[in-house]
Structure 1
Amino acid sequence: MEYRKIIHIDMDAFYASIEQRDNPELRGKPVAVGNPSKRGIVATASYEARKFGIHSAMSSQKAMQLCPQLIFIPSRMEVYKSVSREIREIFHRYTDLIEPLSLDEAFLDVTENKMGMELATDIAKAIKKNIREELGLIASAGVSYNKFLAKIASDYRKPDGLYVIHPDKAPEFIAGLPIEAFWGIGKVTAHKMHSLGIHTGEDLRKCSEEFLHRNFGKNGIVYHDFAHGNDPRDVEAVRVRKSVGCETTFDKDIETPMALIIELYHITTELTGRLQKADFKGRTLTLKIKFADFTIRNHSLTVEYNLTTLPRILPLAKQLLRETDLQGKSVRLMGLSVSTPSSPPPDKKPTQLSFDF
């Protein structure tokens, strides 16, 4: 059997680690990057803060309840972007097949690499060492024969981890995984799987593709592949943007429809600006509503024309808002996004080469 050599690099507590690196007084202390205001959200928490149960996307108020000594640092996004570029330059020493997922993580295909190194594990070790010595930051790495397993491997021994899932060991490893650990399975899907008696990778592997498709749609086929250790997706060196969106968390919960329409106008205006800047053309508009109780509702519609201007998007956004059952709840957050690109990229067939860690 022939396989590829895939590495997933994930920076540990990226934003918070940069702040601790740049300010020695913060080292060893619980730090959160974000806004400590009543409506604030934690963007990233240091590992010292995570010991208290603090995590990204948590409300700042809840974080301070868990850890009264928590130190909040304002976000410096331009600094984080600059450091991300420096990390990318390190990746390019080894391969140009790099697929960034965000500022702090990426996939690398090192099957054929610039250094002529035989073992993907050695490349992962070298990259971690480069990042530590040159940038003063810590990364975790996962190594395997596809993206699904490399991603799971990078999370397996964080922080400062390096874990390898060899093809011979993959079936046993996958069998023991809780289904919550599978890429793409969130709380709602996990709850449904539990109701169907699916709790582990072994349980999932026993399900037929037809059964999973019937219960989970096209994602069921993906889950079936993952359960059998299959993931044919290539590392895409140039990622094609699939959506553009924006959202706003309000200073105070909004309770009246008229106030929501006013905010919807402002969000739509921001969205059209982002669409023009990204030169993105799509045909699906999605409205996201988060209520005061943190429940979320998404509502979408697809049209036959490109959604690029305010006159085209705003009437549809209002329609989605009218069709959303607000149930008399107060609204905490509202967002809009455009997806379904006009010219989707063609599917690529996976390339396979010999495999040896």
Structure 2
Amino acid sequence: MRSFRLDLTAWKVTSKENPFQGKSVLRESDPAEKRKGPVRAEYIVSKPKINGALTTDHIFFTFLSKTSSRFKHHTSPRGSYILHYLIFTDLDDTLLDHESYSWAEAGPALDFCLKRGVPVILATSKTRSEIEPLHGSLSLSAPFISENGGGIFFPREICADTPFGTLPSSRFPLENKQEVVLSEDGRKRFWKISLGVNYDLLVENFRKIRHELGWNIRGFSDMDPAEISCLTGLDEEGARLASKREFDEPFILNGPYEDMAPLKEASGRKGLGITSGGRFFHLTGRNDKGIAMGLLVSWYRQRYEKILTIALGDSPNDFGMLERSDFPVLIKSKKDYSWLKETIPGLTLTEEMGPRGWNTAVLQILKENQEECDV
């Protein structure tokens, strides 16, 4: 564990609450490490704080005593900016391109967030097995939300203890578990917070509903990876990962079922819900992305003084997330959801689709508000 020395002559603090604005320069005391240059931290504080703990999203410092300017660096080489924003984002047709599943066009905004320590929290209908490699490829360290809010996963390196004291109650006995699980490749450990209905129970109810209605509907549980690949455009390995469901049954309707009310009513009688994404309908528990987002915001608020949230999505399964955010962004899609502007205050509608629209919206929000929030 490296130790550092705080250069108090560089201490300057300002914020809207008082005439200081929190900036300090942290210089390494170890000569062997000094060649790497200064470590810099920027953050907003309501009053100057020198002793105690200073916590940011990517770097953690703890002062060794009330009078000492020495402290220890606990984690993360990536950045040293206090948290001002949380970004919650859908994946397909939002951060990822519809056809190629590429995020390349969102690269400038992602780099901007990474350099400034702004957590990007993936919130998607995808499985944990699908999200993990993407999470790593994007160099993210924040938690992520799987299967329409059915699960929340915290990397152990940012959360050593159980993340939540209590969770929302539910009629399903297998929900609301917090346990440590290994990643798909066995290299990482995550806290798994189960908010959704166990997948086996979902499939059982899906088949009962199908039988009751006599509808021709097919879920992922009825398909092999080849069929999932054909429907999604994923390669065979991607389709295999997509089939590893835990909390959510994607399905398609084979027939002219314009009125979804009977299906929603049958699901509701069993304590379940129906939502729709870019490609599929989904049978879920009473969980959704908005509920999972609320839990994560509460977790971050225990650690940071000021948080502003940005949420980006393109489909109805994202609306709960958009409603809860300070900066809601509806990514342009083939369907017209512009009527949401009347129900969600401050909603931004992008002119571009997918990652290009994502990139423009995120950069615009962060840069326009950087003076207020010192991004």
Same-fold status (TM-score > 0.5): no
Q: Given the two structures, how large is their TM-score scaled by the length of structure 1?
A: 0.25
Q: Given the two structures, how large is their TM-score scaled by the length of structure 2?
A: 0.24
- Structure with more of its chain in helix, by fraction: 1
